[in-house]
Structure 1
Amino acid sequence: MFRRRRREESPAAKAAVDETPQVPARESGPWDADEPYPERERVDLGGMRLPVGPGFEVQLNLAGDQIVGAVVLFNESALQVHAFAAPKRSGIWDEVRAELAEGVKSAGGTAEEREGAFGVELAARIPAEGVEQPVRYIGVDGPRWFLRAVISGRAAQDAEVAATLEDVVRDIVVVRGDEPMAPKEAIELRLPPEARQAVEQQAAGGRRPDLDPFDRGPEIAEIR
């Protein structure tokens, strides 16, 4: 029996295949750093690559000296994002959502589940200065990580403004890393290289760092 020999690909053809850009398997994120994702302008915070856009101000959440989260301020609204380690074979959003709802109710607020842009989310109203403030809690389970997003201010009720911040969540890239971490342990973030250099130069000169190292793009400030 004779079989037709397979035609071998030339080295040039193989190189062309290798150079073909990888196409994301999903339409939107949040993305894992190990999967293909669309290129766009992002601030590299180490454990998270955060999309930036016109009119955005970016602040960092600090726990002591550790950067654990970021806040995007836009159009009288705030988007807080935190990334955490999660088990390899199961998500934690159901558990975290129940804990958040209990915490809100313990503080005198209300919370109810509803279907949102990323699946089930928590719509809450939290007492603040005698007024109930609307807040949306969003959770996304990824491979060995969990991303929590909190939308407050105008975007909590204005769908048009919320859409801009939801797009930020969709384009976040989470860099989990390979080191062992306990579930719910915060994935540590860091200042971008240019920001660290500016802070170090100011500290060396005896000036208090203002954490505003960018000539263009977002402002980096600290929240304690």
Structure 2
Amino acid sequence: MKFRRKAEPTQATDGPDPVADAPAAAPTGTGPFDESEVAGDGVERVDLGSLLVRPTPGRELRLQVDEPTGTVQAVMLAGPDGALEFQAFAAPRHGDLWSTVRPQIAADIAARGGTATEREGRFGTELVCQVPVQRPDGTQATQPSRIIGVNGDRWMLRASLLGRPALEPDGSGEWEDALAQVVVRRGTTAMPVGEPLPVVLPEQARRVN
């Protein structure tokens, strides 16, 4: 596992990578899961507070950390052909937060000069996006992505697929399997709807000088 501090090179923990060296995760069509659904199943997961991530062979777990605050800003599984970035948010107990925020996301992308169209996928309605970005050398490019939302018990999980799984949805089954293995720990604290659930660095993660 690696974690990146804001505006610094990637930092890594000592020892073997628990994601790259783990056994293959069994595909599932029923996740992502609430913590209550997997209690006592014996599966090894990386504990990030509100997110429990099952190691996936060939994909590296990366965390982007804000240096001044120590806040985890992004959680990502990265592989040679793409990446999966995800975050959980507080949601109503009985509601469809994804249907509410999906048009807001599409409108924001349009305001930035991009496009977002809906398609039906494994997890329901998702957005296929093309967003203009600026390369490090100053030239312009377009970044493709697929944004997926999953409603849970008082939480919503938002995920973005980048790279090949964004360009080839029909061939992204293994990436979708990885998303389906994510577990959300909502907790009992009252939170405003739409507020990100806190993500924390695991105990074994430390900066390597």
TM-score relative to the length of structure 2: 0.76
Name the structure 2 match of 1:77: 82
Change (3 A) 1:83 1:61: farther
- Between Structure 1 and Structure 2, whose CA radius of gyration is higher? 1
Quick check: 1:118 aligned with 2:123? yes
Name the structure 2 match of 1:149: 159
Secondary structure of the structure 1 residue equivalent to 2:37? coil
> Is this contact kept in 2: 1:45–1:189, CA < 8 A?
yes
- CA deviations over 1:44-72 (Å, ceiling 9, x no partner): 11111012222211111445432244111
Q: Distance in 2 between matches of 1:35 and 1:92?
A: 21
CA shift, 1:123, in A, is 0.6
What aligned pairs does 1:177-192 form with structure 2 within 5 A after superposition?
A: 177-192=187-202
CA shift, 1:36, in A, is 3.6
Give the root-mean-square deviation of aligned CA atoms.
Answer: 2.1
Greater share of residues in helix: 1
Q: How many residues align structurally?
A: 174
- CA deviations over 1:121-153 (Å, ceiling 9, x no partner): 001111123222211000001000000000111
Q: Which of 130, 145, 148 is the matching residue for 1:138?
A: 148
> Is this contact kept in 2: 1:83–1:145, CA < 8 A?
yes
Identity %: 37
Q: Which of 84, 99, 107 is the matching residue for 1:94?
A: 99
> Is this contact kept in 2: 1:68–1:186, CA < 8 A?
no
Name the structure 1 match of 2:56: 53
Name the structure 1 match of 2:23: none
What aligned pairs does 1:174-213 form with structure 2 within 5 A after superposition?
A: 174-195=184-205, 199=206, 209-210=207-208
> Is this contact kept in 2: 1:49–1:172, CA < 8 A?
yes
> Is this contact kept in 2: 1:123–1:134, CA < 8 A?
yes
Name the structure 2 match of 1:8: none
Amino acid at match of 1:188: P
CA shift, 1:163, in A, is 1.6
> Is this contact kept in 1: 2:29–2:177, CA < 8 A?
no
> Is this contact kept in 2: 1:30–1:172, CA < 8 A?
yes
Amino acid at match of 1:117: R
Runs of 4+ in 1 over 6 A off after TM superposition: none
Where does the alignment leave 5 or more consecutive residues of structure 1 unmatched?
A: 1-25, 200-208, 212-224
Where does the alignment leave 5 or more consecutive residues of structure 2 unmatched?
A: 1-27, 135-139
Q: Which of 92, 97, 110 is the matching residue for 1:105?
A: 110
Name the structure 2 match of 1:10: none
Change (3 A) 1:112 1:181: same
Q: Distance in 1 between matches of 2:109 and 2:29?
A: 33
- Bigger shift: 64-73 or 51-60? 64-73
CA shift, 1:35, in A, is 1.8
Amino acid at match of 2:57: P
Change (3 A) 1:154 1:210: farther
Secondary structure of the structure 1 residue equivalent to 2:204? helix
Name the structure 1 match of 2:32: 30
Q: Distance in 2 between matches of 1:128 and 1:191?
A: 29
TM-score relative to the length of structure 1: 0.71
Amino acid at match of 1:51: R
